[in-house]
Structure 1
């Protein structure tokens, strides 16, 4: 395995962050890591504190993301195992998904996608959204690339825009990925 990437001291006691980049976004990088206590492979999302304010992300936004993920435990939602920070970064230890993202899976299947497979995927997508709505949570960025695949199970991820929304209230902010936003 590769050499570890620098973490805060308590995090290094628990997780060994490998030099295997799983993904990169505008806010940070996702690394493969190993939980030293359980030997389980996890994904660690590393958010660069210096970049966050430049992108309009406040500490409260990160805390909200953590809070939403802690509120949900469902097989079709990526699990949050823990979070920590050091002087430069905020880290989220997440469930590792071995099959990449769902957008890639759909492109891979192309026109060879069988109806029963599409039905199974739709059931899992709706199950993930249903469990969020049962807890008054609105994800606000549903798209194929925000579902990860683990052993053929779809898991909703990326809760950076998710909010708790009490019943009867409306959201008026426009956010999310433009190509996947509702018209209007």
Structure 2
């Protein structure tokens, strides 16, 4: 087996750039198949935390191999200065771009289509004892067919590694981080449910549920956890969707839904209601009433 990226893949145009490296489109020299290559400059890793995040991600992705909604790692290369990860190509606009471009709320049926795929990815991770810990629209990617792929597992953690199933460490992103993380206490995998709930709220309402003018003000709003549904932007959102959001964005993590509960009959009832509502609209438009 060759140990050089250049022997196996041809790097093409740059797709994105992060704190430690660059993402390129690349092609397999044997199959011609297109992938993405995440190239990380190890010389930019300033401390042990950075190094741990970079080295942890490929290990986590190997454990998570096989799910259609989790980005897959295909090859890993490392030399003195660089780490190269060859992963699925997701050249569709990410969810952050889609939300920004929309400039407002998605229809409930559109939100359900995105959300169900995200929940499937999170559920798969949790079944394998892995919490993502930084779920946000920037890390929700789409391939050329529109299929959702959860990405960027640098902050992920194995919560199944201890008997309590808990984790520590302040990680995450303003707007999306769960309150128990900000408190600096032990927490469990339900932090991902909170983050997914924030995304669903934004999809349905067009604005985040907890926000401030600064990061500090946003964190304070998250810690208060005062969930509201302003009538002017949630007027057309179903009671089932609001009920689901209350259960996902519950400040008390012991009462918050698990990802399995989100996927349960309560959620199925919510998504089915949306489906049949849209079906009824189509029937009326076609004159089949």
Q: Specify the TM-score bucket, using the shorter chain as the normaliser.
A: 0.7 to 0.9
Alignment correspondent of 2:170: 174
Higher share of residues assigned strand: 1
- Whole-angstrom distance in 2 between the partners of 1:92 and 1:109: 32
Alpha-carbon distance, 1:109 to partner: 2.8
Aligned counterpart in structure 2 of residue 12 of structure 1, from 6, 9, 17: 6
**CA deviation map 1:45-95 (0-9, x unaligned):** 01111111358422x443321111011121111110011012221110010
Alignment correspondent of 1:92: 85
1:162 pairs with 2:171:
no
Aligned counterpart in structure 2 of residue 135 of structure 1, from 128, 145, 148: 128
Q: Is the 8 A contact 2:21 2:40 kept in 1?
A: yes
Unmatched runs of 5 consecutive residues or more in structure 1: 1-7
Unmatched runs of 5 consecutive residues or more in structure 2: 184-289
Aligned counterpart in structure 1 of residue 23 of structure 2, from 18, 27, 30: 30
Q: Is the 8 A contact 2:95 2:141 kept in 1?
A: yes
CA RMSD of aligned residues (A): 1.9
1:110 pairs with 2:106:
no
- Whole-angstrom distance in 1 between the partners of 2:119 and 2:130: 14
Alignment correspondent of 1:4: none
Alignment correspondent of 2:210: none
Aligned counterpart in structure 2 of residue 145 of structure 1, from 138, 157, 182: 138
Alignment correspondent of 2:55: 63
Alignment correspondent of 1:3: none
Q: Is the 8 A contact 1:17 1:34 kept in 2?
A: yes
> Under a length normalisation based on structure 2, what TM-score does the superposition of the two structures give?
0.57
- Whole-angstrom distance in 1 between the partners of 2:48 and 2:17: 15
> Under a length normalisation based on structure 1, what TM-score does the superposition of the two structures give?
0.87
**CA deviation map 1:89-140 (0-9, x unaligned):** 1110010012031110122233362221110101011011000000000111
Aligned length in residues? 175
- Whole-angstrom distance in 2 between the partners of 1:54 and 1:160: 14
- Whole-angstrom distance in 1 between the partners of 2:101 and 2:18: 22
Q: Is the 8 A contact 2:10 2:29 kept in 1?
A: yes
